[in-house]
Amino acid sequence: MKCYSCGNPAVIYRKYEGRAWCKKHFSRQLESKIKATIKKDKLVEKGDKICVALSGGKDSCLTLYLMDKFFGKRPDINVFALSIDEGIKGYRDESIKKARKLCKKLNIPFHLYSFKEEFGKTMDEILKNKEARACTYCGVFRRYILNKKSRELGATRLATGHNLDDEIQSIFINNLKGDTNRLMRLGAKPVAVKKDFVNRIKPLRYIPEKETTLYAMLNGIEFHDSRCPNAEDSVRFDVRKFLNDMEEKYPGTKHIIICHFDTILPALRKYFADKGSVGVCPKCGEPTSRALCKVCELLENL
């Protein structure tokens, strides 16, 4: 197959577009799309300090690489990385090696925090309690540290590697669970900044997972590629399969879902805007919309 633009050998054929592209044109387009997302949603502004949540996986490595490529030379913008060691032996220790290596290569400050330091236990220790569901603890604890530490490090933006597939899976899951609060927090730049919450940005939000992987491989970005041993078959797993089947059968489905969601999101946010308030957890002092924050509640259960 030949590149639609230059006739050189193609590296990808996009079914949803009906065109094939070579490495140069595919990479250029992907970067342009991400730049357009950043511009349209004002994800990054003058004076920002961008903290990239870096797990060492492909999407977070790509986010860091591109934030550096786009903003690394700007004197008014600062980019740094934050990794979290949940304490999953044989998995996270390996991905952190990749994260550290990439930061060294790009000459980007790297900050590492761990569940052990923050909560006194690693994930492996938490899971000795057979009742504990791995991803519930891991996800809640990780989001807590990401927000707290990025804020303490002075970040004005917390960039995550969510791609198109992640985002539309979340749209479906929140619909299936009837979780309006979470649903309206989705978006390239989720809801207005609330005190003590660092504004999250998702520059890869319109890029399909297959393309983030291809870009990383074609552009020599080393990443950690293995499945967490604690990953369970979850609703996300089924939704992912369903959406991939739909995309295969009806190319363009994934883009239609996100475009439609973006159309109704402002109305959704407006309607539900004042229905939830953010206060402070009486135990740890972090922001929460609950009487006791989820982290403190989970820690009490341990």
Binding site for ligand SF4 (CB under 6 A): 86, 134-135, 138-139, 228, 230-231
Residue found under tokens 């990239």: 52
| Interacting residues with Zn ion between 273 and 302 (CB under 5 A) | 281, 283-284, 293, 296
| Interacting residues with Zn ion between 245 and 264 (CB under 5 A) | none
Question: Residue 135 or 256: which CB sits closer to ligand SF4?
Answer: 135
| Interacting residues with Zn ion between 11 and 30 (CB under 5 A) | 22, 25
Q: Which of 106, 43, 119, 56 is nearest to 82 (CA)?
A: 56
Q: Which two tokens stand for residue 261?
A: 């969601």
> Facing residues of 52 across strands?
81, 159
Question: Residue 22 or 123: which CB sits closer to ligand SF4?
Answer: 123
Q: Which does 230 bind (CB under 5 to 8 A by kind): Zn ion, ligand SF4, none?
A: ligand SF4
Q: Which does 174 bind (CB under 5 to 8 A by kind): ligand SF4, Zn ion, none?
A: none
| Interacting residues with Zn ion between 76 and 105 (CB under 5 A) | none
- Helix, strand, coil percentages for the chain (3-state, nearest 5): 50, 10, 40
Task: Evaluate the CA torsion angle 74, 30, 222, 164 in order and state its sign.
Answer: positive
Residue found under tokens 């403190």: 296
Q: Which does 239 bind (CB under 5 to 8 A by kind): Zn ion, ligand SF4, none?
A: none
Question: Residue 144 or 223: which CB sits closer to Zn ion?
Answer: 144
> ∠98-103-108 over CA atoms, to 5°?
165
Q: Which does 6 bind (CB under 5 to 8 A by kind): ligand SF4, Zn ion, none?
A: Zn ion
> Residue 226 gets which letter from DSSP?
-
> Are 104 and 64 spatial neighbours (Cβ–Cβ below 8 Å)?
no
| Interacting residues with Zn ion between 215 and 234 (CB under 5 A) | none
Residues in the site for Zn ion, rule: CB under 5 A? 3, 5-6, 8, 22, 25, 281, 283-284, 293, 296
